[in-house]
Amino acid sequence: MGLSTSNIKTALHTWLTTTTGLTGDKVVWAYQNAPEPGSDFISVIPILSMQRIGQDERIYENDADILTRHRRSIIAQIDGYGGDAFGIVANAYDGLLLPNIHAIFLPLALSADYNSNIRNISSLKDGRYEARASFDVRISAVYDSTTLADDLGWWDSVQYTGTGGMLGLIPETTVN
């Protein structure tokens, strides 16, 4: 199984609704080509960037498949909008390291930590200022992927024959 973006989104969404008190339809994903949900709300970019942490770990299995364990650092961006944008975002920020929030991420092989301060990014909208606040959260993710031996190009065929007491009982055979 590769990176599960749905797990990351599930954890982020649960954390944000739990700590801000916003309903699920007010914590939305960015870039949906969809209208704003109406204030106050949070827009989330679940994967702003992804970085490899150390070397990927390769485990050679008995059947010659390779299990690769990936460790990644993923940055998510949390943007709050509305009259209390900073307050809402601060609630999410303050709750990030609480045990109940840690318990949301952990079963999904994820953990979350701060990656920035909260920034006031209030800006003009239709000629009037709209309150906005934003911060980044760093998610550590561990996930595995399997490469099948058949896909590695290590061999095209297998040849076997009997030896010892089996000599002559198993003729030389080639399997492609």
Partner 1 sequence: MALPAGLISAITVTRYAAGAYNTSGVWVEGATSSVTVNGLVNPEKDQDILMREGGGYADGVIKIYTNEALYPKSGAQQADRLTRGGKVYEVYEVNEPYSNLSLDHYRSRARRVDALTNGA
158 near partner 1 (CB under 8 A): no
**Distance of alpha carbon 81 from alpha carbon 43, whole angstroms:** 8
- Report how far apart, in Å, the C-alpha atoms of 99 and of each of 18, 91, 161 are: 12, 15, 60
Given candidates 8, 11, 27, 78, which one binds partner 1 under the rule CB under 8 A?
27
The contact pattern for partner 1, residues 6-25, with x = CB under 8 A and - = no contact, is ---x---x---------xxx
Q: Among residues 21, 29, 53, 59, which is the contact residue for partner 1, using CB under 8 A? A: 29
In terms of Cα–Cα distance, which of 1, 135, 7 is closest to 75? Answer: 135
Q: Which is nearer to partner 1, 34 or 158 (CB)?
A: 34
- Which one among 1, 32, 156, 172 touches partner 1, defined by CB under 8 A? 32
Interatomic CA distance for residues 139 and 73, integer angstroms: 6
**Site membership for partner 1, residue 171 (CB under 8 A):** no
Helices (H) and strands (E) in the chain, counts: 3, 11
Cβ proximity to partner 1: between 32 and 163 the closer is 32
Identify which of residues 28 and 90 has a Cβ nearer to partner 1 in the complex. Answer: 28
In the complex, least distance from residue 158 CB atom to partner 1, rounded to whole angstroms: 43
C-beta closer to partner 1: residue 3 or 149: 3
49 lies in the site for partner 1, by CB under 8 A: no
| CB contact at 8 A, 57 and 68 | yes
- Alpha-carbon gap, residue 27 to 17, rounded angstroms: 7
Collapsing DSSP states into helix, strand and coil, what is residue 25?
A: helix
To which residue do tokens 């952990």 refer?
A: 106
Residues in contact with partner 1 by CB under 8 A are: 9, 13, 23-29, 31-35, 37, 44
